[in-house]
Amino acid sequence: MTTPQDSTPQGLDLSAARSTRTAAEAPAGTRPDVAGAGGGASGGQPPENTVAVPSLVFDVNEEAFNDLVALSNDVPVVVSLLTEWSEPSKDMTAILESIATSLEGRIVVALVDIEKSPRVAQLFQAQSVPTFVAIVKGQPIPLFQGTMAEPQVREYVSQLLQVAAQAGVTKTAFVGGAEEAAPAVAHPEALAAMEAGDLDTAAEVYRKALAEAPADAEAKVGLARVGLLSRVKDMDATAVRAAAAEDSKNVAAALDVADLDLAGGHVEDAFNRLLTVLTLVAGEDRESLRVRLLELFDVVGAEDPRVVKARARLMRALF
């Protein structure tokens, strides 16, 4: 199993896996919907080393995708890219539901209709349905395409669980108690605007919150995330990467490629690119790179070890 190199369509953010928020803890309107009966434990408070989910098998659209990626911090996610009219898709959904139930929550299955969520299909470069991809700790892992007998699917899932265990993703999905576990949502107006694709309004809400409370960490992170999404939404990834490859000192291209890398979940690549270019330039170019790095640090999270390492490199480079 290998991780593909991809460019992320606008709004779909594999770097969201830095968050510890689960699908059950997502804001209203972004939680994955239940798609039929899922197995698992009965309602109540989740036992130790579990994560609350609405079901083991659920529908996910583009708006809820980032919360699904965050869930992959805790439990392996199998993404089924399908269409409503595809009979093979329905057959494979039944097999995956059976496997998820028998594993008692060691995996969850997300169903994505690629006709309703084309950007997710683009993200995983799906050429046909059904196509199956896993997400573990924010990293996409190709599985297989087409139909397959249940014993063969179980072999793929077994390998996936081994990969997840090596990454430290070992929690069990717990069905029930999700609504009670949901915390209060910070800045719901901004989140609603982001769901609607209105990034300007979301940014305005976060800026107002920071003006009133400069120490508001949620608003700071939210504004950084909105900035990233705004920058990459209309970006021509091929042209940007070509410009960066042609000139190692092209600061504008380096900033754009770093945004694309971070939005695609390639956090260390983004940091390394900007830190490398920073050592080659001076003056305003260095300051532009420094400011962008600090913004991307906010997106990923100050506690993330990749940020801690990159921040130390930045300090050494500047002083």
* Phi/psi at 288 (5° precision): -60, -40
pLDDT tens column, 135-186: 999 999 999 999 999 889 999 999 999 999 988 899 998 886 444 444 456 7
Residues 32 and 152 in one domain: yes
Residue 38 lies in domain:
14-181
On whether residue 263 sits in a domain, the answer given is yes
Mean pLDDT of the chain: 82
Q: Percent of the chain, pLDDT > 70?
A: 82
| Banded pLDDT at 270 (limits 50, 70, 90) | very high
pLDDT tens column, 180-235: 444 456 788 998 888 788 999 999 999 999 999 888 888 898 999 999 999 998 89
pLDDT at 184: 53
Please list the residues that pair with 135 across neighbouring strands. 77, 140
Total count of domains within the chain: 2
pLDDT at 81: 95
Amino acid at 279: T
Residues 153 and 204 in one domain: no
Q: What is the CA radius of gyration of the chain?
A: 20
Residues 103 and 225 in one domain: no
Q: Alpha carbon 29 to chain centroid distance?
A: 17
Of the two residues 1 and 295, the one the predictor is more confident about is 295
On whether residue 261 sits in a domain, the answer given is yes
What is the rounded CA–CA span in Å between residue 116 and residue 121?
10
Residues 74 and 47 in one domain: yes
pLDDT at 16 over 60: no
Q: Alpha carbon 146 to chain centroid distance?
A: 25
- Specify the pairing of strand 77-82 against strand 108-113: parallel
Phi-psi region of 36 (alpha: psi -120 to 50; beta: other; left: phi over 0): left
Domain boundary among 181, 215, 247: 181
Name the residue among 263, 5, 12 with its Cα closest to residue 120.
Answer: 12
CATH number of domain containing 136: 3.40.30.10
Residues 66 and 126 in one domain: yes
Residues 176 and 200 in one domain: no
Residues 173 and 194 in one domain: no
Residues 59 and 150 in one domain: yes
pLDDT at 76 over 60: yes
| Sign of the alpha-carbon dihedral angle for 148, 149, 151, 154 | positive
Residues 39 and 159 in one domain: yes
On whether residue 295 sits in a domain, the answer given is yes
Q: Which of 8-17, 50-59, 66-75, 141-150 has the lowest mean pLDDT?
A: 8-17
